């Protein structure tokens, strides 16, 4: 009864077809009790499809699922929850305007004389969350707490309702380092209680830190299941990509002596960003480093006019230009790939083709439609150049995987021939392969003479491509690093140190 | 070349089928339904009546489709019809020509549209609330213009717009068809259609891509106001008078219904004006069935509601999904059965 009880969940030969594609091809997944099992693969490898088949969000076309030895066939997510498979998604799907306790017990509130027993519910919630090492007031609205705590509440809810298998779909994507640790301690605790935890993420370090085994998918097939203690990160990446990832050589060329293109002088907005100054030359990549909420995104938005600044000015080739709307920015050949692809980037129901052409068409005005042949030429050129994987240019962009959406958005802006490209977290939530391609692209655009401003939370990445790095802390510019100074250690040091006055930006 | 045309046909196919069904029911209740005569220089027949009477809703639904594509709605079109009709009537009663009257009516509609557009695009008021203001206030404005009475007129030129005949065809038919063709042409031959769809799907992304969403939104409401004004002038011309209380009453709901029957989502995004126009014809065909069947008039609204309900059920996502699955289940097995015997053979070897 202790071991050799067999897997908690055993999926065999799961297949799923979509019109024109085989999303899953005879996939097997075996989850033992008390293990953290990572599900790995590039975007589009079939991870989400597999999860959706397991939870009943999709109906599989072939294959069997055994839960505790019993064959099951969940018809909906509610169904799978009842059977014991709980899922927590990256975007916490709780109700932000309800209290923590209400979220935890929604639909199964303790009742008393036909009314909700609020006090008892709060007590139960407090006790339940204490089990996860959280000491918070469950009567507070959910939004009073950080995303990490909301994440734990979502997990607690899923575990209480299901309790056999817990699927975590990119739970750490929007968490900082400490929050990730909080989450991991919760996961370990659940593992020790005998749950099977499925962990999906793009962060390989985290996979190796928390997971016992990993199943790797590629193009809808399982390419291997590995005990992680026996393999290296490189082995896993090789399996995911199906090829050896050439180790990136960081030969950072000194910035070419391009003309100064953009000067930002004391640009700021009250309550959002303290006045900030920077200058960019052609053929230069300036990195924006800082913790979450340090003002990276705000800087990008103010320069692009997505949020109008209330002080400071922007000079283009020495001449002051007004940039209070994105439209004006685009007119001056600025471009911004925003951090939040879904809500600020893609236009989901429009075709990939329309999405790629959108910014260029908008800047030409509606009266001068780009001829269809030219539209196709542009779209096809970028699909090829950026290796965007799609079934057809006519498919809605929302159906593309994250990495391909990001590339399509890059294509949208490259199609406008920008002089100045702002990238906000260009590699967030995309797979290793696309990650390397985007970094290579940044390098190439730089050597072609474009000026780039790149905000990123991945220091290694910033170090790889930046010619200078501006460090932000608490919505303030605190340090500028250049040349050999640019190392992850120095950036961390600049983020961490207190009270040092900012080295005045523009050079 | 074949691609886009083929996809347009596929898009409007459900609407065409429903229209055919509605016309067939007409034929059942009234066997001479498709008969068309040519008398006194004018075409007569039930089919011509359907096309003619559909004019107000058809014209309204052109503007309404664009507004709904931006994730908005325009509840004020009925009231704007009354305002425009009253304005035109007042102008001809003053002794001006019909062209001046038409332009005055359209101008009034444009002002109303501009008002709605500013409330929605600049002040960011929810469209349903913003246009509700004018829906309620508009009839009051129209009554002020007509000074509370039905303003009758006898200007031949103006009357011609609603009751006249050009080359044997009633003028309203020519007007709504020309308007529909013009707007479809402008929207699809320029980039306007794509930009409007982009705003409707994701306004924030669109704005960040450099689309001037504010101006476009105002324009869309302006077009809706203009369409409503044109419909209002035609209705007034048809009865040779402006009735502030009843002109265009509840027609905003028929216009929205036409857009919905046209398969356009109220959540905005992809749209088809052609499908909405067919939707307007469907509604008028349903009205015609009730009229021709000789049922007591008390039944009219209930029967109309039932027929509309049936149409909406057929188009509901659940039913369309079932239809899709039924159709997909045909060719689907081919790819997964075909390789199967092969692999078995391979294994056997």
Shortest Cα distance, chain B CAs vs residue A326, angstroms: 5
Residues contacting residue B299 through CB under 8 Å, at least 6 positions apart: B290
Is the pLDDT confidence value at B347 over 60?
no
CA atoms of A427 and A248, how far apart (whole Å): 16
Mean pLDDT of A246-271: 71
The angle subtended at Cα A385 by Cα A383 and Cα A386, nearest 5°, is 70
Q: Is B24 on the interface with A (CB under 8 A)?
A: no
Q: Are A227 and A234 in contact (CB under 8 A)?
A: no
* Residues in chain B closer than 8 A to A421 (CB atoms): none
Of A326, A349, A369, which is closest to B189 when you measure between CB atoms?
A: A369
Crossing angle for the helix pair B171-189 and B55-69, to the nearest 10 degrees: 20
Q: Please, what are the domains in chain A?
A: 9-97+141-241 (3.40.50.300), 250-333+418-507 (3.40.50.300), 346-417 (no CATH)
Query: What tokens appear for B169 in the block?
Result: 């065809």
Of A17, A326, A354, which is closest to B207 when you measure between CB atoms?
A: A326
Of A330, A350, A361, which is closest to B201 when you measure between CB atoms?
A: A350
End-to-end CA distance of chain B: 49
Shortest Cα distance, chain B CAs vs residue A352, angstroms: 12
Residues contacting residue B254 through CB under 8 Å, at least 6 positions apart: B57, B60, B280, B283
Shortest Cα distance, chain A CAs vs residue B194, angstroms: 8
Q: Is B191 on the interface with A (CB under 8 A)?
A: yes
**Domain residue spans of chain B:** 51-273
Q: Are B142 and B233 in contact (CB under 8 A)?
A: no
Give chain A's contact residues with B (Cβ, < 8 Å). Answer: 15, 17, 19, 22, 61-62, 304, 306, 325-327, 329-331, 336, 338, 343-350, 354, 358-359, 361-370, 412
A13-16 contacts: CB < 8 A, separation 24 or more? A13/A62, A13/A63, A13/A64, A14/A50, A14/A53, A14/A54, A14/A60, A14/A62, A14/A63, A14/A65, A15/A60, A15/A61, A15/A62, A15/A63, A15/B336, A16/A49, A16/A53, A16/A58, A16/A60, A16/A61, A16/A62
Q: Does A350 sit within 8 Å of B194, measured CB to CB?
A: yes
Residues contacting residue A383 through CB under 8 Å, at least 6 positions apart: A352, A356, A390, A393, A411
Burial of A449 (0-12, 13-18, 19+ CB in 10 A): middle
Mean pLDDT of B3-28: 84
Is the pLDDT confidence value at A504 over 70?
no
Q: Which of A298, A290, A275 is nearest to A497 (CA)?
A: A290
**Helix, strand, coil percentages for chain A (3-state, nearest 5):** 35, 25, 35
Indicate the pairing of strand A196-200 with strand A165-169.
parallel
Of A304, A343, A361, which is closest to B194 when you measure between CB atoms?
A: A361
Q: What confidence tens digit (pLDDT) does each residue in B194-203 have?
A: 999 999 999 9
Q: Does B211 sit within 8 Å of A349, measured CB to CB?
A: no
Is the pLDDT confidence value at A200 over 70?
yes
Helix or strand or coil: residue A498? coil
Q: Which of A466, A468, A467, A462 is nearest to A488 (CA)?
A: A462
Q: For residue B155, what pLDDT is reported?
A: 92
Q: Are B220 and B70 in contact (CB under 8 A)?
A: yes
Model confidence at A256, pLDDT cuts 50, 70, 90, reads: low
Mean pLDDT of B17-38: 91
CA atoms of B134 and B112, how far apart (whole Å): 8
A21-31: strand order across its sheet: A21-31, A9-18, A62-67, A70-72
* Residues in chain B closer than 8 A to A62 (CB atoms): 336
User: Taken in order B166, B169, B175, B180, is the CA torsion positive or negative?
Assistant: negative
Q: Does B211 sit within 8 Å of A369, measured CB to CB?
A: no
Q: Is B208 on the interface with A (CB under 8 A)?
A: yes
* Residues in chain B closer than 8 A to A19 (CB atoms): 328
CA atoms of B328 and A190, how far apart (whole Å): 42
Q: For residue B3, what pLDDT is reported?
A: 43
Model confidence at B333, pLDDT cuts 50, 70, 90, reads: very low
Q: For residue A136, what pLDDT is reported?
A: 84
Q: What confidence tens digit (pLDDT) does each residue in B240-280 have?
A: 999 999 999 999 999 999 999 998 988 899 999 999 999 99
Is the pLDDT confidence value at B129 over 60?
yes
* Cβ atoms < 10 Å from Cβ of A388: 23
* Residues in chain B closer than 8 A to A306 (CB atoms): 207-208
Of A22, A61, A359, which is closest to B209 when you measure between CB atoms?
A: A359
Of A17, A330, A347, which is closest to B205 when you measure between CB atoms?
A: A347
CA atoms of B225 and B114, how far apart (whole Å): 8
CA atoms of B260 and B276, how far apart (whole Å): 7
Q: Is B331 on the interface with A (CB under 8 A)?
A: no
Q: Is B204 on the interface with A (CB under 8 A)?
A: yes
Beta strands in A201-327 (DSSP E): 213-218, 221-227, 260-269, 273-281, 284-289, 311-316, 319-321
Q: What confidence tens digit (pLDDT) does each residue in A360-371 have?
A: 999 998 889 999
Residues contacting residue B302 through CB under 8 Å, at least 6 positions apart: none
Q: Is the ipTM of this complex over 0.90?
A: no
Q: For residue A171, what pLDDT is reported?
A: 82
3-state SS, one letter per residue, for chain B: CHHHHHHHHHHHHHHHHHHHHHHHHHHHHCCCCCCEEEECCEEEEHHHHHHHHCHHHHHHHHHHHHHHHCCCCCCCHHHHHHHHHHHHHHHHHCCCCHHHHHHHHHHHHHHHHHHHHHHHHHCCCCHHHHHHHHHHHHHHHHHHHHCCCCEECCCHHHHHHHHCEECCEEHHHHHHHHHHHHHHHHHHHCCHHHHHHHHHHCHHHHHHCCCCHHHHHHHHHHHHHHHHHHHHHHHHHHHCEECCCCCCCCHHHHHHHHHHHCCCCCCCCCCCHHHHHHHHHHHHHHHHHHHHCCCCHHHHHHHHHHHHHHHHHHHCHHHHHHHHHHHHHCCCHHHHHCHHHHHHHHHHC
Crossing angle for the helix pair B171-189 and B213-239, to the nearest 10 degrees: 170
Q: Does A326 sit within 8 Å of B209, measured CB to CB?
A: yes
CA atoms of B97 and B258, how far apart (whole Å): 34
Query: What tokens appear for A349 in the block?
Result: 């129901």
End-to-end CA distance of chain A: 70
Of B194, B208, B212, which is closest to A354 when you measure between CB atoms?
A: B194
Query: What tokens appear for A172 in the block?
Result: 């750490």
* Residues in chain A closer than 8 A to B190 (CB atoms): 366-369
* Cβ atoms < 10 Å from Cβ of B271: 24
Model confidence at B349, pLDDT cuts 50, 70, 90, reads: very low
* Residue B198 phi, psi dihedral angles, 5° rounding: -60, -45
Q: For residue A249, what pLDDT is reported?
A: 43
Of B190, B207, B209, which is closest to A369 when you measure between CB atoms?
A: B190
CA atoms of A383 and A404, how far apart (whole Å): 9
Q: What confidence tens digit (pLDDT) does each residue in A347-361 have?
A: 989 999 999 999 999
Of A15, A22, A362, which is closest to B195 when you measure between CB atoms?
A: A362
Q: Does A366 sit within 8 Å of B210, measured CB to CB?
A: no
Mean pLDDT of A383-406: 88
**Could you tell me how many CB contacts below 8 A there are between chain A and chain B?**
90
Is the pLDDT confidence value at B340 over 80?
no
Model confidence at A87, pLDDT cuts 50, 70, 90, reads: confident
pTM (two decimals): 0.74
* Residue A110 phi, psi dihedral angles, 5° rounding: -65, 135
Helix or strand or coil: residue A446? helix
Q: What confidence tens digit (pLDDT) does each residue in B135-190 have?
A: 999 999 999 999 989 999 999 999 999 999 999 999 999 999 999 999 999 999 99
Is the pLDDT confidence value at A505 over 80?
no
Instruction: List B residues 92-121 in contact with A (Cβ-Cβ < 8 A).
Output: none
Query: What tokens appear for A183 in the block?
Result: 């989450």
Model confidence at A79, pLDDT cuts 50, 70, 90, reads: confident
Q: Is B340 on the interface with A (CB under 8 A)?
A: no
Highest mean pLDDT among A13-22, A158-167, B73-82: B73-82
Q: For residue A243, what pLDDT is reported?
A: 54
CA atoms of B111 and B118, how far apart (whole Å): 10
Q: For residue A485, what pLDDT is reported?
A: 86
Q: Is B339 on the interface with A (CB under 8 A)?
A: no
Of A350, A363, A364, which is closest to B197 when you measure between CB atoms?
A: A350
* Residues in chain B closer than 8 A to A17 (CB atoms): 332, 335-336
* Residue A67 phi, psi dihedral angles, 5° rounding: -120, 120
* Residues in chain A closer than 8 A to B209 (CB atoms): 326, 330, 347, 358-359, 362, 412
Is the pLDDT confidence value at B32 over 70?
yes
Residue in B with minimal Cα distance to A347:
B202
Highest mean pLDDT among A9-18, A103-112, A438-447, B130-139: B130-139
Q: Does A15 sit within 8 Å of B202, measured CB to CB?
A: no
Q: What confidence tens digit (pLDDT) does each residue in A167-191 have?
A: 998 887 767 777 888 889 889 988 9
Is the pLDDT confidence value at B330 over 60?
no
Residue in B with minimal Cα distance to A409:
B209
What is Dmax (Cα atoms) for chain B?
A: 97
**């999405």: which residue's tokens?**
A355
Beta strands in A143-283 (DSSP E): 165-169, 196-200, 213-218, 221-227, 260-269, 273-281
Q: Does B209 sit within 8 Å of A362, measured CB to CB?
A: yes
Instruction: List B residues 251-310 in contact with A (Cβ-Cβ < 8 A).
Output: 269-270
Q: Are A11 and A29 in contact (CB under 8 A)?
A: yes
Shortest Cα distance, chain A CAs vs residue B328, angstroms: 9
* Residue B152 phi, psi dihedral angles, 5° rounding: -95, 155
Percent of chain A at pLDDT exceeding 70: 91
Q: Does B207 sit within 8 Å of A347, measured CB to CB?
A: no
Find which of A356, A358, A405 to mutate to test the B interface (most B CBs within 10 Å of its CB): A358
Find which of B208, B213, B322 to mutate to test the A interface (most A CBs within 10 Å of its CB): B208
């Amino acid at each position: 009864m202790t071991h050799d009880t067999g897997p908690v969940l055993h999926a065999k030969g799961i297949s799923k077809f979509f019109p024109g594609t085989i999303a899953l091809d005879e996939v097997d997944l075996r989850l033992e009790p008390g293990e953290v099992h990572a599900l790995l693969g590039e975007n589009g490898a079939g991870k989400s499809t597999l999860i959706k088949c397991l939870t009943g969000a999709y109906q599989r076309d072939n294959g069997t699922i055994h839960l505790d030895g019993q064959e099951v066939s969940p018809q909906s997510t509610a169904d799978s929850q009842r059977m014991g498979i709980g899922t927590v998604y990256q975007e916490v799907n709780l109700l932000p305007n309800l209290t923590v306790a209400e979220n935890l017990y929604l639909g199964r509130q303790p009742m008393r004389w036909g009314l909700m027993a609020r006090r008892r519910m709060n007590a139960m919630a407090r006790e339940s969350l204490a089990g996860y090492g959280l000491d918070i007031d469950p009567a507070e609205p959910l939004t009073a707490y950080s995303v990490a705590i909301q994440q734990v509440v979502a997990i607690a809810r899923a575990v209480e309702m299901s309790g056999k298998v817990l699927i975590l779909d990119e739970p750490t994507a929007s968490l900082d380092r400490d929050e990730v640790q909080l989450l991991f301690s919760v996961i370990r605790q659940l593992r020790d209680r005998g749950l099977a935890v499925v962990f999906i993420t793009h962060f390989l370090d985290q996979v190796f830190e928390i997971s016992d085994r990993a199943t790797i998918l590629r193009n809808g097939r399982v390419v291997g299941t590995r005990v992680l203690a026996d393999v290296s990160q490189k082995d896993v990446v090789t399996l995911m990509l199906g090829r050896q990832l050439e180790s990136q050589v960081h030969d950072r060329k000194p910035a070419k002596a391009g003309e100064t293109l953009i000067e930002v002088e004391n640009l700021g907005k009250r309550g959002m960003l303290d006045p900030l100054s920077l200058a960019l030359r052609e053929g230069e990549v300036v990195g924006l480093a800082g913790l979450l909420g340090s003002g990276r995104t705000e800087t990008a938005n103010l320069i692009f006019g997505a949020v109008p600044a209330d002080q400071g000015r922007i000079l283009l080739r020495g001449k002051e230009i007004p940039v209070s709307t994105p439209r004006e920015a685009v007119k001056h050949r600025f471009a911004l790939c925003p951090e939040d692809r879904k809500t600020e980037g893609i236009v989901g129901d429009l075709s990939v083709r329309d999405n790629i052409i959108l910014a260029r068409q908008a800047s030409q005005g509606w009266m001068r439609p780009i001829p269809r042949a030219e539209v196709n030429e542009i779209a096809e050129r970028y699909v090829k150049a950026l290796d965007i994987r799609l079934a057809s240019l006519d498919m809605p962009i929302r159906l593309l995987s994250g990495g391909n959406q990001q590339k399509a958005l890059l294509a949208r802006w490259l199609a406008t021939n920008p002089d100045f490209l702002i990238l906000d977290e260009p590699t967030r939530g995309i797979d290793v392969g696309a990650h390397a391609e985007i970094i290579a692209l940044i390098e190439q655009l730089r050597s072609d003479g474009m000026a780039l401003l790149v905000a990123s939370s991945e220091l290694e990445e910033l170090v790889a491509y930046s010619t200078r790095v501006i460090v932000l802390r608490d919505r303030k510019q605190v340090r500028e690093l250049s040349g050999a100074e640019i190392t992850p250690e120095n950036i961390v040091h600049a983020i961490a140190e207190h009270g040092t006055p900012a080295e005045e930006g523009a050079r | 070349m074949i691609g886009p045309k083929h996809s347009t046909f596929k898009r409007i196919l459900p609407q065409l089928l429903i229209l055919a069904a509605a016309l067939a029911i007409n034929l059942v209740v009234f066997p001479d339904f498709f008969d068309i005569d040519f008398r006194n220089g004018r075409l007569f027949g039930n089919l011509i009546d359907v096309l003619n009477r559909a004019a107000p809703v058809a014209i309204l639904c052109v503007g309404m489709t664009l507004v709904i594509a931006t994730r908005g709605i325009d509840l004020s079109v009925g009231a704007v019809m009354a305002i425009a009709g009253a304005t035109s009537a007042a102008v001809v009663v003053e002794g001006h020509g019909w062209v001046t009257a038409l332009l005055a009516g359209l101008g009034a509609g444009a002002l109303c549209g501009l008002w709605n557009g500013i409330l929605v695009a600049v002040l960011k008021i929810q469209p349903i609330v913003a246009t509700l203001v004018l829906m309620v206030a508009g009839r009051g404005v129209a009554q002020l213009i007509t000074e509370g009475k039905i303003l009758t007129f006898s200007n031949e030129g103006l009357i011609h717009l609603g009751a006249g005949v050009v080359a044997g065809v009633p003028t309203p038919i020519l007007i709504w068809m020309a308007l529909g063709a013009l707007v479809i042409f402008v929207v699809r031959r320029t980039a306007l259609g794509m930009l409007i769809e982009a705003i409707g799907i994701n306004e924030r992304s669109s704005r960040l891509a450099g689309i001037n969403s504010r101006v476009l939104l105002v324009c869309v409401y302006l077009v809706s106001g203009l369409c409503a004004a044109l419909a209002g002038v035609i209705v007034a011309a048809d009865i040779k008078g402006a009735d502030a209380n009843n002109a265009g009453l509840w027609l905003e709901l028929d216009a929205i219904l036409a857009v919905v029957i046209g398969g356009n989502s109220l959540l905005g995004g992809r749209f088809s004006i052609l499908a909405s126009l067919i939707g307007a014809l469907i509604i008028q065909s349903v009205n015609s069935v009730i009229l021709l069947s000789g049922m007591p008039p008390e039944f009219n609204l209930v029967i109309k509601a039932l027929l509309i309900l049936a149409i909406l059920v057929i188009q509901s996502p659940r039913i369309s999904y079932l239809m899709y699955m039924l159709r997909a289940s045909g060719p689907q097995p081919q790819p997964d059965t075909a390789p199967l015997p092969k692999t078995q053979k391979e294994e056997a070897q």
